[in-house]
Amino acid sequence: MWDRLNRIFRLAIKELYSLKADPVMMVLIIYTFTIAVYTVSTGAKFEVENASVAVVDEDRSMLSMRLRDALLKPFFREPVLIDAAEIDDGMDAGRFVFILEVPPKFEEDAIEGRRPSLRLDIDATAMSQAGNGASYIQSIIMQEVAAALPNAVAPQPINLVVSARFNPNLMSTWFAAVMQVINNVTMLSVILTGAALIREREHGTIEHLLVMPVTSGEIMLSKIVANGLVIVVASVLSLLIVVERLLAVPIAGSIGLFVFCAVLYQFSVTSLGILIATASSSMAQFGLISMPVLIVMNLLSGSTTPMDSMPRWLQYVMQLSPSSHFVALSQAILYRGAGLGAVWPQILALTIIGSAFFAIALIRFRRTLADAR
């Protein structure tokens, strides 16, 4: 037993030296967990920020001016006054995401209680901004009208108090930063292990391993341990330095529990990388095969869109993917501060799926080594 562990350890050290000698992979790892996390988190935002808005003010009253002045930065740019004839051209050219139309005698009708209508045109090609911005503008209008005409607006029957937990300011950066790290763990785990195997084959060093007193299982475990260790260390450093320090995103839960789950996750995704590599004859073919697999795993894992919004049958299918369980437990730990008692079902699922992936990959890997002999 100790001899086997010693052989796996020495083979893993060899893998680390091979990775160190590959500058392209080293740059990819550093870029993926630093610049990529920072730029995506700060650039791809879901909340409304600096949205272009125009106002067609046919009333020119104090109330209409108050509504226009209430559309403030950083949510909206300074509103642009336009004529009704410019609406179609402005929307067609994409100059405005929102156009608010105030009809004539708006203030007079509001004071008299005739419930006048406002029209809000939205460029829905900017989907996330359109949905959130419409809610923002609706809320702003209701607040301003209620403040300007307290006697003309009927009081609300209830007072609804909204409390947003885990992300009180509803900042997309808090969500995107952590999820970008999680997605990068999946992507690089597959790429590094698959590339390591193909690199052995292209450099001819796989034949050297075959004449050594090591088994196929030991060779495969060494690749999983070495590349998985690099990914876990890089992801933890990214969380602590880039996410928590640079982006000021609070990490609510235990980093130690996350590391344990990430190590467990490595056995499934790195095994998947080896499985894809055994079906590939070159690095280019490996990239073409792994690309659609990674896209599906990331987009349908719950890191981009909620699992509940997917069709029921697809939710069941994605339970066979380790990425969906890893995303669920990572969100529970890092966002909500969940402990082991809350995430043990996902840990159990990762263990079962990882064991299945490892067994299938090992069978394929043994066949590949047998063909190489």
CATH code, domain carrying 129: 3.40.1710.10
134 lies in the same domain as 254:
no
Domain annotation covers residue 160: no
Range of the domain at 15: 2-44+171-372
Residue at 35: amino acid letter = I
β-pairing, 80-81 vs 53-57, is parallel
Q: Please report the pLDDT score of residue 163 as a whole number.
A: 61
105 lies in the same domain as 60:
yes
Domain annotation covers residue 163: no
Sheet holding 98-102, edge to edge: 80-81, 53-57, 98-102, 119-122
352 lies in the same domain as 262:
yes
Q: Please report the pLDDT score of residue 158 as a whole number.
A: 46
251 lies in the same domain as 290:
yes
Domain annotation covers residue 284: yes
Q: How far, in Å, CA of 231 to CA of 53, rounded?
A: 44
216 lies in the same domain as 335:
yes
Q: Please report the pLDDT score of residue 261 as a whole number.
A: 94
Q: Please report the pLDDT score of residue 159 as a whole number.
A: 54
Domain annotation covers residue 154: no
CB atoms within 10 A of CB 107: 23
In total, how many domains does the chain have? 2
Q: How far, in Å, CA of 122 to CA of 134, rounded?
A: 8
21 lies in the same domain as 61:
no
Q: Please report the pLDDT score of residue 55 as a whole number.
A: 92
74 lies in the same domain as 8:
no
Which tens digits make up the pLDDT trace of 112-133? Answer: 878 888 888 888 776 667 778 8
pTM: 0.80
Domain annotation covers residue 164: no
Domain annotation covers residue 121: yes
Q: Please report the pLDDT score of residue 202 as a whole number.
A: 76
109 lies in the same domain as 203:
no
Q: How far, in Å, CA of 221 to CA of 358, rounded?
A: 9
Domain boundary among 148, 181, 203: 148
Domain annotation covers residue 153: no
Domain boundary among 85, 116, 148: 148
Low-confidence ranges of the chain (pLDDT < 70): 126-128, 151-163, 207, 209-211, 370-373
268 lies in the same domain as 349:
yes
Cis, bond preceding 155 (omega within 30 deg of 0) = no
Q: Please report the pLDDT score of residue 207 as a whole number.
A: 66
Domain annotation covers residue 166: no
23 lies in the same domain as 80:
no
286 lies in the same domain as 205:
yes
